[in-house]
């Protein structure tokens, strides 16, 4: 690469990371350590869950039984740090900008940029669909996605909807909320339903109390979205529910992507639904 | 039940088996032992694959990597003969009219009506989507599904398209074929694509030789469908591909539903795609 190219890359990693492989390389080299949302635009990003083989069958079953919360895009062979159906030359232990480490159900403080030293021959990685493809479709239909227009992470709430348990993996469904006018809500539901691998249609709309949420202004995670007069809250399942299930099952070791720091795949975002 | 009711039930099991639970009960009692297609109309039917826990993670991964061939609807806990998200009061070892038994990759002759004696504490059951929901949608759109109008099972071919292997589970994709005029083929593709859990859009159309099929008139399974002048063959993935993958992986024991003898679920067929 020319000196000038190198300069520009340092100056604006988002511009330099327009292709998925370039984005993953910059992350691996430590030149990008923030959220992945703006990187490799138009390409599918996935949430990551890694558990030991002894817990992997139960986690796979959790995904099969709760496909709206955990849309399974790919699963690694034990010990393998690649997911060849999603990305070429992938190193799952280094190609995400941040990881959370959970031991016996207890999360380490902070996050790590590299988990190579923790990877074991018995670890199995699961890549899960996120709301990204659905959000892109909503915006393509000129619907306002509030957390995007307000430039913050979506508000997260722990609902009272039980996950369908698989072995010790159990807990409640976490949901994200996006507000719409009644007319836009109808269109949002119609469009989102076409993207089952991006959580699909909402699980609830209207009264937050009906699914155990006290106050929209005080989310359990993320940042509250402003509600405008006459707007209705729509609630979608979130892969964040995996953290709760892992806390309950207490596998010896589990790795998750850090919030907003996802696996960038080579797949065009439209393929998320089709594969 | 009154004597008269009993008489009528014996006279026409299809009429008596209009509800999924009634159909499963009649099957369990041995009063129905034929194909399930006409039973409990409007309800989702699933293909069944059962393997030991030691092979189950690799089989779950095979499904995740080949979702068009193996759309995973549910997975049992080891030893469990129920799939509560699909059907109430289910006994997986008795509620299908026929099972195939495969030991070390070699299929037993014929089929069994009851596999209770073979069920072990380590067996894991997988329910897979079939083409049924997609076929129903094609017919609802007034498209002719040839094997339905000719009242035979669809023709099955072993293509040269490789499955994405998972451990020792590997092999080639088996496909079913349905012929359409060019105009109908376009509509069939558009409609089928909406049903990813019923195999979704075709994997190929036109020249059978391009996917390794020599002669349409000589399928590797099922019954050939008549092609009319100007018609184009459309090819869809088939769960029959599981039999090939099991032959390759040679688990100590595997159970499959016998051809056409499927698991009748309580879910309306439209939920197949949504859950």
Please state the ipTM of this predicted complex: 0.86
Is A65 a member of any domain? no
Task: Indicate the pLDDT class of residue B1, thresholds 50, 70 and 90.
Answer: very low
Number of structural domains in chain A: 2
Residues B235 and B266 in one domain: no
> What are A162-182's pLDDT values in tens digits?
999 999 999 999 999 999 999
Is A60 a member of any domain? no
Q: Of B73, B75, B201, which is closest to A61 when you measure between CB atoms?
A: B75
- Pair A263, A97: CB distance under 8 Å: no
Per-residue CA distances from B43 to A22, A83, B18, B19, B267 (Å): 47, 35, 10, 9, 6
Residues A96 and A184 in one domain: no
Check CB contact under 8 Å for B124 and A57. Answer: yes
> Which residues, at least 6 apart from B174, have a Cβ–Cβ distance to it below 8 Å?
B156, B157, B158, B159, B220, B221, B237, B238, B240, B241, B243, B244
**Could you give the angle at the alpha carbon of B131 between the alpha carbons of B275 and B126, nearest 5°?**
60
Q: Is a pLDDT exceeding 90 seen at residue B136?
A: no
- CATH (domain of B27): 3.40.1640.10
Residues A105 and A142 in one domain: no
Q: Of B85, B201, B274, which is closest to A200 when you measure between CB atoms?
A: B274
Span of A40-44, A76-80, A220-224 with lowest mean pLDDT: A40-44
Residues B56 and B160 in one domain: no
Per CB-CB distance under 8 Å, the chain A contacts of B78 are 57
SS3 B4: helix
Residues A35 and A102 in one domain: yes
Q: How far is Cα B49 from Cα B100, in angstroms, rounded to an integer?
A: 10
Residues of B within an 8 Å Cβ radius of A: 53, 56-58, 60-61, 64-65, 67-68, 72-78, 85, 124, 164, 166-167, 193, 196, 200-201, 273-275
> What are A181-240's pLDDT values in tens digits?
999 999 999 999 888 888 889 999 999 999 999 999 999 999 999 999 999 999 999 999
Is A82 a member of any domain? yes
The Cα of A100 is separated from the nearest Cα of chain B by a number of Å equal to 24
Maximal C-alpha separation, chain A: 59
Of B52, B58, B65, B167, which to mutate for an interface test with A (greatest number of A Cβ within 10 Å)? B65
Per-residue CA distances from B193 to A201, A263, B68, B256 (Å): 18, 26, 11, 27
Cβ-based burial of A86 (10 A; exposed 0-12, middle 13-18, buried ≥19): buried
Segment B33-47 mean pLDDT: 91
CA nearest to B86 within chain A: A65
How many other CB atoms are there within 10 angstroms of residue A88's CB atom? 12
Phi and psi for A247 in degrees, rounded to 5? -60, -40
Residues A154 and A178 in one domain: yes
pLDDT at B23: 95
Please measure the distance between the N-terminal and C-terminal CA atoms of chain B and give it in whole angstroms.
Answer: 34
Of B75, B133, B190, which to mutate for an interface test with A (greatest number of A Cβ within 10 Å)? B75
Per-residue CA distances from A225 to A164, A203, A222 (Å): 29, 18, 9
Residues B115 and B14 in one domain: yes
Check CB contact under 8 Å for B275 and A67. Answer: yes
CA nearest to A76 within chain B: B61
CA nearest to B65 within chain A: A74
Of B54, B64, B201, which to mutate for an interface test with A (greatest number of A Cβ within 10 Å)? B64
Q: How far is Cα B214 from Cα B107, in angstroms, rounded to an integer?
A: 26
Residues B79 and B124 in one domain: yes
The Cα of A81 is separated from the nearest Cα of chain B by a number of Å equal to 15
Q: How far is Cα B269 from Cα B136, in angstroms, rounded to an integer?
A: 9
Is A146 a member of any domain? yes
Is A22 a member of any domain? yes
Domain extent for A27:
3-51+72-127+251-273
Q: How far is Cα A240 from Cα A173, in angstroms, rounded to an integer?
A: 8
Q: Is a pLDDT exceeding 90 seen at residue A1?
A: no
Of B54, B57, B166, which to mutate for an interface test with A (greatest number of A Cβ within 10 Å)? B57
Q: Token digits for B222?
A: 């099922």
- CATH (domain of B169): 3.30.2040.10
Residues B62 and B162 in one domain: no
Residues B102 and B189 in one domain: no
Q: Token digits for B18?
A: 């209009």
Sign of the alpha-carbon torsion through B72, A63, A271, B138: positive
Check CB contact under 8 Å for A166 and B77. Answer: yes
Residues A144 and A159 in one domain: yes
Residues A42 and A141 in one domain: no
H/E segment holding residue B199: none
Strands (E) in A59-180, as ranges, are 72-75, 99-103, 106-107, 123-128, 156-162, 172-180
Percent of chain B with pLDDT over 70: 94
Check CB contact under 8 Å for B74 and A65. Answer: yes
Per-residue CA distances from A275 to A199, B126, B248 (Å): 15, 21, 25
pLDDT at A4: 52
Per CB-CB distance under 8 Å, the chain A contacts of B200 are 274
Segment B177-186 mean pLDDT: 96
The Cα of A74 is separated from the nearest Cα of chain B by a number of Å equal to 5
Q: Of B61, B76, B200, which is closest to A75 when you measure between CB atoms?
A: B61
Q: Is a pLDDT exceeding 90 seen at residue A142?
A: yes
Q: Is a pLDDT exceeding 50 seen at residue B143?
A: yes
């Amino acid at each position: 690469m020319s000196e000038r190219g190198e300069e520009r890359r340092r100056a604006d990693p988002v511009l330099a990371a327009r292709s998925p492989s370039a984005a993953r390389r910059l992350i691996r080299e430590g030149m990008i350590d923030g959220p992945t949302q703006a990187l490799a635009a138009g390409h599918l990003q996935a949430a990551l869950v890694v558990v030991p083989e002894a817990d992997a069958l139960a986690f796979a079953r959790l995904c099969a039984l709760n496909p709206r919360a955990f849309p399974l895009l790919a699963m690694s062979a034990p010990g393998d740090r690649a997911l060849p159906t999603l990305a070429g030359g992938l190193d799952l232990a280094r190609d995400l900008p941040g990881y959370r480490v959970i031991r016996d159900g207890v999360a380490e403080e902070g996050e790590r940029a590299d988990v190579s030293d923790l990877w074991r021959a018995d670890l199995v990685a699961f890549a899960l669909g996120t709301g990204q493809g659905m959000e892109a479709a909503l915006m393509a239909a000129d619907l306002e996605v509030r957390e995007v227009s307000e430039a913050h992470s979506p508000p997260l709430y722990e609902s009272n909807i039980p996950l369908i348990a698989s072995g010790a993996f159990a807990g409640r469904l976490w949901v994200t909320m996006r507000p719409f006018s009644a007319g836009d809500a109808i269109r949002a539901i119609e469009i989102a339903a076409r993207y089952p691998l991006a959580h699909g249609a909402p699980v609830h709309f209207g009264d937050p109390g009906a699914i155990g949420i006290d106050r929209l202004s005080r989310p359990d995670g993320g940042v509250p979205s402003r509600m405008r007069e006459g707007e209705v809250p729509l609630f979608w399942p979130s892969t964040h529910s995996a953290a709760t299930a892992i806390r309950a099952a207490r596998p010896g070791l589990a790795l998750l992507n850090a919030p907003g720091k996802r696996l960038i795949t080579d797949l065009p975002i439209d393929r998320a639904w089709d594969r």
